[in-house]
Amino acid sequence: RKEVEQDPGPFNVPEGATVAFNCTYSNSASQSFFWYRQDCRKEPKLLMSVYSSGNEDGRFTAQLNRASQYISLLIRDSKLSDSATYLCVVNLAMRFGAGTRLTVKP
């Protein structure tokens, strides 16, 4: 089993849609979690950290479920500029999921 697993997508959604991604992890000792965004042919950049109580940043909401060992990212009111690959990261030595590709269409 991979340490971090994501649905690779692609997710093709219309503008304004709400879309959610999940990511599961295998190491129950993992302590910190993140979502990164990677645009085509660019390096990944931090989107948001994931806190135990869940956290929100504008249109983005991140959740952590330790019992089931998964994290999620919810994007509301999708914009064209949200089109990218979203990578979940589980920290113990920053293990990345394979990424979920999102395309928002007009």
Partner 1 sequence: GAGVSQSPSNKVTEKGKDVELRCDPISGHTALYWYRQSLGQGLEFLIYFQGNSAPDKSGLPSDRFSAERTGGSVSTLTIQRTQQEDSAVYLCASSSEATGMNTEAFFGQGTRLTVV
Contact residues: partner 1, CB under 8 A: 6, 31-32, 34, 42-46, 49, 51, 87, 89, 91-99
> How much of the chain is in helix, strand and coil states, percent to nearest 5?
5, 55, 40
* 22 contacts 7 by C-beta, under 8 angstroms: yes
At 5 the three-state DSSP class reads strand
Shortest distance, position 49 Cβ to partner 1, whole Å: 6
Shortest distance, position 48 Cβ to partner 1, whole Å: 10
Shortest distance, position 68 Cβ to partner 1, whole Å: 20
Nearer Cβ to partner 1 (9/17): 9
Strands 60-65 and 84-91: unpaired
* 30 contacts 89 by C-beta, under 8 angstroms: no
Nearer Cβ to partner 1 (35/61): 35
Nearer Cβ to partner 1 (43/81): 43
